[in-house]
Amino acid sequence: MDLKILAVGDVVGAPGVERVRRCLRQLKRRCGADFTVVNGENAAVVGILPHQAEAILDAGADVITMGNHTWGKREIVPFLEESPYILRPANYAPQVPGRGWGIYETKAGPAAVIDLIGRCNMDYTPDNPFLQVEKILKQIDVRIILVELHAEATSEKLAMGYMLDGRVSAVWGTHTHVPTADTRILPKGTGYVTDLGMTGPRDSVLGIRPDLSIAKFRGDLTERYRWADGPTKMEAVLFTVDAATGKCRKAERVDEWD
């Protein structure tokens, strides 16, 4: 039996949440997805609010992952503690709220999802994700294992993919909001993509109004970042996993643009 896993790129602002609410179930039907993971750390631009997390889950996400903006909206802390369906990076300090991985039921049996954050150019020092994932894998006894690395450096994400090749079903990257063209199966059977992309304003700079981003790079007196208006997009990758072996048989982009 195959399990089709849909991984959806970072949801940005109210337009991204609305795109998920309006189109995620439709996309799942179109590509036959059985299990869906959505990165939601930018739903409130910086962080996510509880009602946004609920909206994403109600729209058809099975798990929400977070990243460097996990604590952008402190209102999410109780939700992180109470809900097993939202994950913050597992290599954050152990005393912070929430959980970094979980095991979820699917039509093909249990599947593990692990959320990690990178260290290159991320302006702070979480625990080493490469060492942390080794500790987690020792605690997991399921065939289907999905790993997200929320990271800036493409080299860090690629290194994680190759380290876990043949040991997990899929590894994907998030954070840069720009989809990469390297969706593939690694030599030992792990599905991989360096970055999923994003869900939200199409005509934007990473979801933000272009004029605000341009002003920052010009050195002008800047304003608070706000999401762009207009058409939206949803960028995602579909991984087809053989449930008997946990190996990925196919990885393909399933982006939707207005």
Domain containing 183: what range?
Answer: 2-201+232-257
Structural domain contains residue 227: no
Q: CA–CA separation, 176 vs 154, rounded Å?
A: 9
Point out the catalytic residue in the list 51, 69, 150, 175. Answer: 69
pLDDT for residue 123 is more than 80: no
Rounded Cα gap, residues 175 and 222, in angstroms? 23
pLDDT in tens, 2-18: 999 999 999 999 999 99
Does any domain span residue 84? Answer: yes
| Number of structural domains in the chain | 1
For residue 133, give the CATH number of its domain.
3.60.21.10
Q: What is the pLDDT of residues 142-174, one digit of tens each?
A: 999 999 999 999 999 999 999 999 999 999 999
**Model confidence, pTM:** 0.97
Residue 75 lies in a domain: yes
pLDDT, tens only, 223-256: 888 889 999 999 999 999 999 999 999 999 999 9
**C-alpha span between 229 and 207 (Å, rounded):** 9
Q: Is position 56 within any domain?
A: yes
Sheet holding 232-234, edge to edge: 10-11, 198-201, 232-234, 256-257
Tokens at 91, concatenated: 């290599």
- pLDDT tens, residue by residue, 62-98: 999 999 999 999 999 999 999 999 999 999 999 999 9
Residue 207 lies in a domain: no
214 domain residue, yes or no:
no
Residue 70 lies in a domain: yes
69 flagged as catalytic: yes
Residue 185 lies in a domain: yes
